[in-house]
Chain A
Amino acid sequence: MTEAPNSLLAARDVSKVFPLERGLWSAMSRKMTGRPMRRVRAVDAVSFDVAEGETVGVVGESGCGKSTLAKMLAGLSHANGGDLRLRGVPLAEVMADPKQALKVQMIFQDPQSSLNARMKVVDIIGEAPVVHGLIPRSEKEAYVRDLLSKVGLGPEALNRYPHQFSGGQRQRIGIARALAVKPELLICDESVAALDVSVQAQIINLLMDLRRDLGLTMLFISHDLSVIRHICDRVVVMYLGRVVEIAPTDQLFSSPCHPYTRMLLEGMPRISTERRTFLEVKGEIPSPLDPPPGCHFNPRCQFKTDECLASRPPLDHIAPSRSAACIRWREIG
């Protein structure tokens, strides 16, 4: 993959490994027996690009590493390997400069725990811009009031505490907090998953409006394919720490090239008046602590061959801005 000219974020073979053993005892026993350290590859050599102004979806089930990836991109944890760049600058350098680091902001899943229950809204939103000198302290209230109106809240919210708001309103406050430091890249980690259907629609609309008005680039992480389909330009599908498919949204939904993507799409609940015929039970997601050899998906895959067990299939470039990590994608797609 080559870097696109207007690339904002570029990830090349990014990995995050968590050690499962700590402490003196396990270090000694490893030394004695010579066995390797047990570790989990939460994110395993992941590569993708996000162009300026684009909305990229990351979809996958629990344990696929999408939240770990989000934390790395937001600078909340460090990658163990690979190369992460923001506008060509290594992310570690970006994060070392507070002003630059603010360009990447995150919107969290749980509107309950993502707001500090003991701070007023005006401080939750206004603290960081004042601390970083983006605005003088005297303008804090006016600045926050302006942001609140951008996310659809009235100025009466200023001096209230988070518990005085509904879930959807809290999520709006969380969005305003991220916007307060004028980010360029917004990472939404399951940001609408905890919301009710009617509230979810409101927040999705808000995010789409803000994206348009402020020219934001978004990385939208979700397990909900219908939401991904609605707001994303391109989708990255992850399974057990690896990228299995990258495709423009319409192509992904019309002709998935990886058997896992197909399974996800078939399992996606649809609102329909006809009762659906379900797939046969095809096994559980294996534990990320002990992933299957070769292609991680092989135990659940109906297209499995011996080759799938032998080695990790490469993420092949199969069409313009499309890649899939399956050796039999031609037969599937």
Chain B
Amino acid sequence: MTGFLREFAESRIAAFCLVLTLLFAGCAVLAPVISPMNPYNLSAFSLDDARLPPGSIRMERGGTFTATLSAQEGVAEQEAGEAVIRLVEEAPGRMSLTVDAGGAELEAVRIQGLPRDASVEGARRHPIRSEWTVTNPSQPIVIETGSMTPAVLNFTVEADLPATATGTAFALGTDSYGRDMLSAIIYGIRISFIVGAIGALGSMIVGSSLGLAAAWFGGKVDAVIMRMADFQLSIPSLMVGLLTLTILGKGVDKILIAIILIQWTVFARTARSVALAELRSDYVDAARGLRLSPVRINLRHILPNCLPPLLVILTINIASAITLEASLSFLGVGLPLTQPSLGMLIASGYEYMFSNLYWIAIFPGVVLMLMVVSINVVGDRLRDMFNPQLKR
């Protein structure tokens, strides 16, 4: 094994890509542990955080005190949590409101339900509702009721404490839902990697079995299986994927089915051609002469000898399965929005590309590219190593 690794590492680029691939694989496995947020927990998102650029600090929205005051002759006092809200008449038709939140600065105060002719000094009125918003309130807030102070004045006060910076930062920014991009990418790697690996592995199992069967039985079985593969290969793979998902619907399991439907042909063809060469070897005749069962001969004798080329194809097909899943998700038929894969993230960032919100699409794109390229380089290196003609 160490000899194998040393030989592998003779190509520096391949060694680097292997490390990168393992890093991505690590991300896939450890995603829940290492990602700063859980990007699937929709309730944790805040629209306040949407589309923040990379490096933004996450702000915690401050508390809000709400109290409904019923002022008699312009005087009222009401407790709201830890705050005390007081209304005092200064002059007829002019009252001052103080929100005493234990000395804390307030972010905004909203006053709702004032009579139509009342107004609040320095405040913005809501265009439809009777709501006045005071930003950066300087205490006290002055409420004017026009002519004179009404005998009874009912209204509601909402006072917001300012947002406080939390420890967490959005290293790679946020998307349009306020989802942390870094977490989304790590979980995206997880989904892409798992879909790629399981999809390609499933294709290998299905394809190799069919290929071995074709080689072993020959004749009609061979013809049927291989013509099926030929037919399959004449349809563009994205088309097969789109059709499958249109019929079956969205979901990880459906994507896996699509990948296996697309990729089994490559494995079947390779397994068949390698197995045909192996079948001519004397050891297969020896095994038949020893009356071992065909299943045993195929699985214990022939398959292990076919594995090296199949494993090379497996690595390369993991990369192509990842690309395929990304393409399908980008086209919107892949995974649901709630479980974004890298392709999905790219798709959702694509609409913001022209409004300078580059990070939503670029970062998942770069990660996807690195992942596909490094897996491919690893596959190429394996192919070189297993090719006896290049071996010395």
Contact = CB atoms under 8 A, between A and B. Distances in A.
A76 to B, nearest CB: 5
A102 B290 CA distance: 6
Interface string B99-126: 0000000000000000000000000000
Contacts of A233: none
Which of A115, A116, A127, A131 has the largest count of B CB atoms less than 10 A from its CB? A116
A98 B281 contact: no
B291 A118 contact: no
A132 B293 CA distance: 10
Interface in B281-316: 281-283, 285-293, 296, 300-301, 304-305
A215 B296 CA distance: 31
Interface in A64-86: 71, 74-76
A174 interface: yes
B371 to A, nearest CB: 31
A260 to B, nearest CB: 28
Contacts of A101: 291
B289 A106 contact: yes
Given A106-B285, A116-B283, A131 B292 contact: yes
A284 B286 CA distance: 33
A113 B292 contact: no
B289 A119 contact: no
Which of A75, A102, A131 has the largest count of B CB atoms less than 10 A from its CB? A131
Contact of B289 (A75, A113, A116): A75
Contacts of A117: 305
B286 A102 contact: no
A105 B289 contact: yes
A128 B33 CA distance: 49
Contact of A114 (B286, B296, B305): B286
Contacts of B283: 113-116
Contact of A119 (B285, B296, B301): B301
B281 A113 contact: yes
Nearest to B307: A118
A239 interface: no
Which of B289, B296, B300 has the largest count of A CB atoms less than 10 A from its CB? B289
A127 B282 contact: no
Give the interface size class of chain A.
20 to 34
Secondary structure type dominating chain B contacts: helix
Contacts of A128: 290-292
A109 interface: yes
Interface in A95-151: 98, 101-102, 104-106, 108-110, 113-119, 127-128, 131-132
A91 B281 CA distance: 24
Nearest to B219: A22
A162 to B, nearest CB: 9
A181 interface: yes
Contact of A132 (B289, B291, B304): B291
A159 B285 CA distance: 23
B9 to A, nearest CB: 23
A101 to B, nearest CB: 5
Nearest to B286: A114
A181 B290 contact: yes
Contacts of A181: 290
Contacts of A106: 285-286, 289
Interface string B170-192: 00000000000000000000000
Nearest to B304: A118
Contacts of A113: 281-283
B282 A114 contact: yes
Contacts of B286: 106, 108, 114-115, 174, 177-178
Contacts of A108: 282, 285-286
B289 A76 contact: yes
Contacts of B300: 119, 127
A114 B281 CA distance: 7
A98 B285 contact: no
A181 B287 CA distance: 12
B121 to A, nearest CB: 88
A106 B289 CA distance: 7
Nearest to B301: A116
Contacts of B285: 71, 74, 76, 106, 108, 114
Contacts of A110: 282
A102 B292 CA distance: 10
Contacts of A131: 292-293, 296
Contacts of B281: 113-114
Nearest to B291: A98
Nearest to B293: A131
Contacts of B304: 116, 118-119
Nearest to B305: A118
Interface of A: 71, 74-76, 98, 101-102, 104-106, 108-110, 113-119, 127-128, 131-132, 174, 177-178, 181
17 contacts: A71-B285, A74-B285, A105-B289, A106-B285, A106-B289, A108-B285, A108-B286, A113-B283, A114-B285, A114-B286, A116-B287, A116-B304, A117-B305, A128-B290, A131-B293, A131-B296, A132-B291
Interface of B: 281-283, 285-293, 296, 300-301, 304-305
Please name the 3 residue pairs, one residue from A and one from B, whose CB atoms are nearest each other, closest first: A114-B282, A128-B290, A108-B282
